[in-house]
């Protein structure tokens, strides 16, 4: 009989059970397991996850002879969150990615399989709720950066760009193997942020994005450093904003120079880093593949390079980061004689083609990602869609000093280059 360890054990949801942990271990080990005891608790802070509840688990089994640290990502079907998960097909895509796609891509880009794109997946189930159980990357020395500190420096971003390039290369090699493989990616990962079966005016995610635009216009009207032309152009975009977003996030694009499986949600909280001597960053691992889509690599490149870097890195080192991505992509593909190899011009064209998505990031996503920590606001997904409470959350997000400093130069640049038309 197993036991819960310690009197300080936090209250856990009913679906985080011994049975789930036992099934996870047995699925991985392919043999019966006897659970002795386990402890568990929340693994992320408020505002770090919206569509999932994430818990760490420490489990002892087989008479105390073995121990593992696990991470359970649970997606209960409650409120607006459950409906959104269904529309986005998030659980199916993520579980398939971790169980099938990521291990396959690892083998394709590295003969020894050491180039990993995510944590080892132990188990995925829909009973009693949608849950994926992983190895705990923290035990392996990985940790998140603080999303409130204004972004990642160049060393972190260089690692990220190389990793994206290898991930993209893995998907290209997989698609090249057979027409069936390419069809699998195109059909199983046909959309990310927006399901085209939904009308843009009815999509909950796009409704939230629209409210973000309206909040930005209201708050930024008082910013002396923001050019008035920016606000005028955003007012022009306001009536068609949801439709423009729906159009710009469709991954299959006419004339795309090359196509890849996009991660789809590469911001700093979906990356974990491993360090040497606490300071020198050495490795990055991606998490959260719920929004992956097959199509133009520009979607990942724009999303990452707008949302993740520190302001100075975004302004001064963008060209360097695109070159790093291209160099790694070519080297990875060239090792296995892939043809034709994308050129740097191909990479830049896909980035440029998708830069309206950069405007969406700046107006809608960056305020969420750079939101200052607060202890008196409910930052759950459902709370965000409650009208009055959602407005309170947006007030904090859009009035953040870090966000304001980061977004103004981005909008001036987009205006100057014609991306607000």
276 found inside a domain = yes
392 inside domain: yes
Average confidence (pLDDT) over 279-294? 95
Q: What is the pLDDT of residues 337-390, one digit of tens each?
A: 999 999 999 999 999 999 999 999 999 999 999 988 776 655 555 555 566 667
Residue 372 Cα to chain centre, angstroms? 19
Residue 83 pLDDT exceeds 70: yes
- The total number of structural domains that make up the chain: 1
As a whole number, mean pLDDT of residues 391-398 equals 90
Matching residue, tokens 């995925």: 124
Q: Is 141 part of any domain?
A: yes
**Residue 294 belongs to domain with CATH number:** 3.90.1200
Beta carbons of 206 and 191 less than 8 angstroms apart? no
Among the residue ranges 147-151, 352-356, 410-414, the one predicted with the least confidence is 147-151
The percent of residues above 90 in pLDDT, for the chain, comes to 81
> Is 17 inside any structural domain?
no
Residue 12 has pLDDT above 90, yes or no: no
In a domain, 71, yes or no: no
Assess if residue 297 is contained within a domain: yes
Those residues with Cβ within 8 angstroms of residue 303's Cβ, 6 or more apart along the chain or in another chain: 264, 265, 266, 267, 357, 361
Residue 53 falls inside a structural domain: no
Q: Is 337 exposed, middle or buried (0-12, 13-18, 19+ CB in 10 A)?
A: exposed
**52 inside domain:** no
Q: Tell me the whole-structure pTM to 2 decimals.
A: 0.93
Q: Can you give the pLDDT at residue 4?
A: 47
Range of the domain at 141: 88-417
How confident is the model at residue 7, as a pLDDT?
37
């Amino acid at each position: 009989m197993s036991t819960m360890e310690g009197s300080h054990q936090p209250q856990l949801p009913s679906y985080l059970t011994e049975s789930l942990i036992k099934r996870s271990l047995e699925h991985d080990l392919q043999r019966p397991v006897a659970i002795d005891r386990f402890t568990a608790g929340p693994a992320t802070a408020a505002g770090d996850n919206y569509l999932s509840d994430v818990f760490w688990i420490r489990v002892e089994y087989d008479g105390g002879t073995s121990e593992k640290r696990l991470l359970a990502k649970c997606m209960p079907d409650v409120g607006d969150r459950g409906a959104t998960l269904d529309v986005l097909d998030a659980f199916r895509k993520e579980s398939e990615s971790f169980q099938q796609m990521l291990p396959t891509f690892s083998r394709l880009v590295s003969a020894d399989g050491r180039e990993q794109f995510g944590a080892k997946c132990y188990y995925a189930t829909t009973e009693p709720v949608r849950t994926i159980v992983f190895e705990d990357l923290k035990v392996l020395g990985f940790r998140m950066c603080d999303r409130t500190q204004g972004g990642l420096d160049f060393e972190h971003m260089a690692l990220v760009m190389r990793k994206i390039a290898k991930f993209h290369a893995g998907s290209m090699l997989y698609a090249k193997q057979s027409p069936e493989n390419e069809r699998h990616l195109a059909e199983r990962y046909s959309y990310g942020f927006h399901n085209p079966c939904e009308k843009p005016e009815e999509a909950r995610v796009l409704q939230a994005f629209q409210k973000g635009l309206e909040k930005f216009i209201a708050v930024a009207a008082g910013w002396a450093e923001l050019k008035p032309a920016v606000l005028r152009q955003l007012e022009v975009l306001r009536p068609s904003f949801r439709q423009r977003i729906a159009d710009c996030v469709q991954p299959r694009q006419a004339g795309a120079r090359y196509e890849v499986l996009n991660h789809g949600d590469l911001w700093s909280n979906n990356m974990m880093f491993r360090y040497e001597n606490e300071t020198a960053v050495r490795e990055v691992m991606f998490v959260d593949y719920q929004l992956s889509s097959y199509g133009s690599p520009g979607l990942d490149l724009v999303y990452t390079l707008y949302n993740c870097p520190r302001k100075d890195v975004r302004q001064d080192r963008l060209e360097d980061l695109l070159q790093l991505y291209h160099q790694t992509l070519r080297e990875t593909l060239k090792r296995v004689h892939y043809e034709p190899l994308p050129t740097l011009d191909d990479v830049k064209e896909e980035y440029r083609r998708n830069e309206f998505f950069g405007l969406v990031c700046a107006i809608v996503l960056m305020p969420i990602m750079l939101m200052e920590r607060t202890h008196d606001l409910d930052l759950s997904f459902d709370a965000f869609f409650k009208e009055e409470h959602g407005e309170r959350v947006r007030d904090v997000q859009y009035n953040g000093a870090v966000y304001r400093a980061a977004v103004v130069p981005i909008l001036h640049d987009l205006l100057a280059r014609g991306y607000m038309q």
